[in-house]
Amino acid sequence: MTSLQGKIALVTGASSGFGLAIARTFAAHGARVIVAARREERLQALRDELAARYGSEACAALGMDVRDRNDVRNAFAQIESTGWGAIDIVVNSAGLAAGLEAIQDGVFDNWDRMIETNLNGLLNVTRFALPGMIERGGGQIVQIGSVAGRDAYPGGNVYSATKAAVAMLTRGMRIDLMKSGVRVSNVAPGLAETEFSVVRFGGDTERAKSPYVGIDALTADDVADAVLWVVTRPAHVNIDELVIMPTAQGSANHVHRR
Ligand code: NDP
Ligand code: 8X3
């Protein structure tokens, strides 16, 4: 097992859901975490929380819109200049679904947000993180994919396409990076109750409950636990893909509700 003690981990999407739980879990296991997202007030609160528990060097907060390449470039420059540059682990958790319309009713803005965040955003962060990892002879990138990237479902069209792209990108990265000592993994969860559906349904909190009715959905902590396992394997072990679903979910399309 590889210890996280003293390792530096950058977690995007850390203001909510999986990213938040992953940041807390990593810090609890001794990592120093850089937490990134757009809602900086949430990041500051998380930084204060982790500093109170684990010391002032446990966490750094970094406002960043992953879609904006210059923003990401500047954020990495800031990481470098403040002594947090030797990043060992990146978890690309920033992402979203927007809408659930059939393709013929698709909303262009929603398509753009999903593609720009889930794919371009993940690429931006990964591209700026990799040179340092390669120079240091190792590191790990963990993508948060989805079971939606394995199966299509009604209205999931563009969201599923972004997650299928993440899965294929991870496979391509593995081949490009296998000489470098850098590990790459795709963690693909099923239904998990976070702010994901609130975002998908544009803030409609009632509708956002509907995917989780009659099922014990995954929690963000379940996913953080899986990611912790992925990043604590010995250095010669790469978990290429890890799929995690609620017991009552058989695929992106098959859910047993009570
Ligand atoms: P949440 O909505 O709870 O969290 C999403 C996070 O992404 C937030 O921290 C948000 O922060 C951040 N984010 C969104 N857009 C941007 C952006 N442009 N720049 C920087 N950060 C951004 O959802 P989850 O935690 O559930 O989702 C995390 C990932 O897991 C996503 O990729 C999602 O697709 C995936 N996933 C979710 C599943 C689920 O059922 N919940 C299942 C499978 C995969 P902020 O708004 O502050 O920028
Ligand atoms: C999120 C899971 O099934 O809502 O990626 O698309 S699902």
pLDDT tens digits for range 174-215: 999 999 999 999 999 999 999 999 999 999 999 999 999 999
> What is residue 202's predicted lDDT score, i.e. its pLDDT?
98
Q: Are 206 and 234 in contact (CB under 8 A)?
A: no
Question: Is 54 among the catalytic positions?
Answer: no
Q: Which ligand is nearest to the CA of 192?
A: 1
User: Which of 243, 167, 226 minimizes the C-alpha distance to 26?
Assistant: 226
Is the shortest distance between the CB of 146 and ligand 2 below 6 Å? yes
> What is residue 219's predicted lDDT score, i.e. its pLDDT?
98
CA distance 21 to 197: 17
Torsion angles phi and psi, residue 5, rounded to 5: -55, 120
The label of the residue with tokens 């990611």 reads 227
pLDDT in tens, the chain (258 residues): 899 999 999 999 999 999 999 999 999 999 999 999 999 999 999 999 999 999 999 999 999 999 999 999 999 999 999 999 999 999 999 999 999 999 999 999 999 999 999 999 999 999 999 999 999 999 999 999 999 999 999 999 999 999 999 999 999 999 999 999 999 999 999 999 999 999 999 999 999 999 999 999 999 999 999 999 999 999 999 999 999 999 999 999 999 999
What SS3 class is residue 4? coil
Q: Which ligand is nearest to the CA of 210?
A: 2
* Ligand 1 geometric centre to CA of 244 (Å): 17
Element (H, E) at 61: strand 59-63
> What is residue 1's predicted lDDT score, i.e. its pLDDT?
86
Residue 70, class by beta-carbon neighbours within 10 Å (0-12 exposed, 13-18 middle, 19+ buried)?
exposed
Amino acid at the residue 71 = D
What SS3 class is residue 18? helix
* Ligand 2 geometric centre to CA of 210 (Å): 12
Is the shortest distance between the CB of 117 and ligand 1 below 6 Å? yes
- 24 alpha-carbon distance from chain centroid: 14
**What are 32's strand-pairing partners?**
8
Is the shortest distance between the CB of 149 and ligand 1 below 6 Å? no
User: Which of 90, 37, 84 minimizes the C-alpha distance to 59?
Assistant: 84
Q: Give the length of the chain.
A: 258
- DSSP type of residue 233: S
**What are 255's strand-pairing partners?**
249
Sign of CA dihedral 218, 219, 222, 227: positive
Cβ neighbours around 131 below 10 Å, total:
10
Ligand 1 atom 10 nearest Cα: 13
Element (H, E) at 139: strand 139-144
